[in-house]
A and B are shown apart, each in its own frame.
Chain A
Amino acid sequence: MLTRSIALALVSAACAANAQDKPAASPPPSWQQGKPPAMSESTLHPFAIEMTGKAAKDLPIDKLKAPAGFKVEVWAEGMPGARSMAQGDKGTVFVGTRQLKDVYAVVDRGGKREAKVLLKGLDAPNGLVFNKGTLYVAERHRITRYDGIENQLDNPPQAKVVVDNLDPNKQPGHFWKFLAMGPDGKLYFNIGAPGNIVMPSYMEASVMRVDPARGVLETVALGVRNSVGMDFHPKTKELWFTNHARDWLSDDSPNDTLHRVSRKGMHFGYPYCHQGDTPDPEFGKNRSCKEFDAPTLKLGAHIAPIGMRFYNGKMFPAEYQNNIFIAMRGSWNRTIKQGYNVMRVVLDDSGKVAKYEPFLTGFLLDEKADPPMWGRPNDVMVMRDGSLLVSDDQNGIIYRVSYAK
């Protein structure tokens, strides 16, 4: 009852965005929004990260398993909340955070990695991309650039604003951003939905792009609830992205999804239709899923896919070329937990999914325990030597997966 009335209040508040009256109720956290009365007794809850990080020595790292021939090791630690990763021309690995306000820089010094806080006091600096000497950072409300940063890691330059005012309503919701550099020289990023299941406004529930030279925004895709991972196919140059589906419908539906953007302006259904075939019980009542574009792959319910990258390195066996690696940060909104793996997606020549299988496993310890896992894969990044880095924001650790014949 309480949750429902607040959800309704939120909807009407969104309709009258400039109403002067201070709302009597506080909005629920976005993870609680849309929880139906029938699930009011549910004790399912998201898991909080370790704000101070955890030492690898305190964790069962030896549980991590990759296919035969692959080796998994701790690459760097001591970066609480480590999420999105980007590699600089000179080898610096930049690491963003969501619940903290920091961006880290990891420098390799003679085989030992040295991590330090590079930028402080930012607003959910989750999205990072490095291009032609410049580090771009996507915060909750803006995208900034730090030119020539790799030459001055001890004294970073002032941020220059690429685009601002991306979060004018300042409401709770999925507004931390992933950032990717398109083959067109434009920056691609998400603006998520303002709650679990809410009618989006402004540019919400979309994938956008901005020309960094002019700051002009364009809509790339709509109906996207929360995408925090995207990459461009090495051959076709098309944008692919992961997306989180809504919560509180059931353990097994809807699936989180993988999407391929074959033309600008596709609409992937949110909040009307989930996973391409499941109308939302509220917003989808008088709509048809046929109206919307379908995902390329259903990834599993509640598994919370974050980072995804195409593999175009030279280290892994040839059959890994142009595969997609996807990091699963969930699940929490499910009675029996699943996920917490790095997955491998194999595409055929036409871009259809030929295989979808676990690649790096072992974070999930007990599917019925609370918490069920000891670590959470967040982003994946192909290093210049062809190895794969996996960030774990639960503990502030980055792992490296390498291959040797």
Chain B
Amino acid sequence: MRHGLPGAAALAAALFVGAAGAADVEAGRQKAAVCAECHGPDGNSSDPAVPSLAGQPAQFLSGQLFFFREEYRREPRMSPAAKALSNSDMNDLAAYFASVKPAPPKHVTTPENEQRGLELTQKFRCVQCHSAGLQGQQHVPRIAGQQPEYLRAQLRGFKQRTRSDIDGYMTQMAQPLSDHEIDVLVDYIAGLRTPSRAAAGGSR
């Protein structure tokens, strides 16, 4: 049994699973109204510590909402926010945010980190999972142009083994990173604007 349930509605949503409705972008848009306060209108965040959701892969979004609800991934605001959501709600929200065009990032990479950041993403083969241009795929997030303080907190969390990690791969990858390297990666990735530029950070 789940502990700390907020109410009967959440209990029903959590314990009874039924014929699932098709994921609905419009229903997701309406359910997403509450998300805008932190994640920005249309899921394009303007807070450096809060991630943008716009244009993220749907499977990544629904998966993270699930992890927040089930407390595989703990976060003081998101875990309670996800508590009342059913799986269908999560699929609707994921369909909606995945359909929104991501705004270009405001962050501008410092010139000295352009090359060093690129080299680090090559060294750690970030594109292997995060895909060409670090645009994300399937259950793996788009990190190109993501908010810098959010990226920094995640990388530090992986290094400290405090960030939830479905298979341990990011935790493993983050272990050899120095604090300085994390800063370089964040500065570089947060400023990635176009897939074509980021694609140069590929496997060649």
Answer whether residue A368 sits at the interface, using C-beta atoms and an 8 A cutoff.
Answer: no
Chain A residues with Cβ below 8 Å from B168 are 26-29, 172
Tell whether, in the assembled complex, residue A55 and residue B20 are in contact, meaning their CB atoms are under 8 Å apart. Answer: yes
Comparing A115-123, A210-218, A341-349, the segment that makes contact with chain B is A115-123
Interface residues on B, range: 35 or more
Residue tally, chain A, CB below 8 Å to B:
43
The number of residue pairs between A and B whose CB atoms lie closer than 8 Å in the complex comes to: 109
User: In the complex, which residue of chain A has the Cβ closest to the Cβ of B62?
Assistant: A52
Answer whether residue B161 sits at the interface, using C-beta atoms and an 8 A cutoff.
Answer: yes
Tell whether, in the assembled complex, residue A56 and residue B138 are in contact, meaning their CB atoms are under 8 Å apart. Answer: no
Tell whether, in the assembled complex, residue A26 and residue B175 are in contact, meaning their CB atoms are under 8 Å apart. Answer: yes
Comparing B33-41, B112-120, B121-129, B145-153, the segment that makes contact with chain A is B121-129
* CB of B62 to closest CB in A, whole Å: 5
Tell whether, in the assembled complex, residue B91 and residue A54 are in contact, meaning their CB atoms are under 8 Å apart. Answer: yes
Answer whether residue B80 sits at the interface, using C-beta atoms and an 8 A cutoff.
Answer: no
Tell whether, in the assembled complex, residue A57 and residue B22 are in contact, meaning their CB atoms are under 8 Å apart. Answer: yes
User: In the complex, which residue of chain B has the Cβ closest to the Cβ of A48?
Assistant: B139
Q: How far is the CA of A42 from the CA of B169 in the complex (A)?
A: 15
User: In the complex, which residue of chain A has the Cβ closest to the Cβ of B65?
Assistant: A52
The proximity string for A residues 109-136 relative to B, scoring 1 for CB distances below 8 Å and 0 otherwise, is: 0000011110011000000000000000
Answer whether residue B77 sits at the interface, using C-beta atoms and an 8 A cutoff.
Answer: no
Tell whether, in the assembled complex, residue B70 and residue A101 are in contact, meaning their CB atoms are under 8 Å apart. Answer: yes
Chain A interface main SS type: loop
Chain A residues with Cβ below 8 Å from B176 are 25
Tell whether, in the assembled complex, residue B175 and residue A24 are in contact, meaning their CB atoms are under 8 Å apart. Answer: yes
Chain A residues with Cβ below 8 Å from B70 are 100-101
Answer whether residue A366 sits at the interface, using C-beta atoms and an 8 A cutoff.
Answer: no
User: In the complex, which residue of chain B has the Cβ closest to the Cβ of A172?
Assistant: B168
Q: How far is the CA of A26 from the CA of B66 in the complex (A)?
A: 25
A residues in contact (CB < 8 Å) with B: 6, 24-29, 31-32, 40-43, 45, 47-48, 50-58, 77-80, 99-101, 104, 114-117, 120-121, 172, 370-371, 396
Minimum-distance CB pairs A-B, first 8: A78-B17, A48-B139, A55-B20, A57-B22, A29-B167, A51-B66, A52-B87, A26-B172
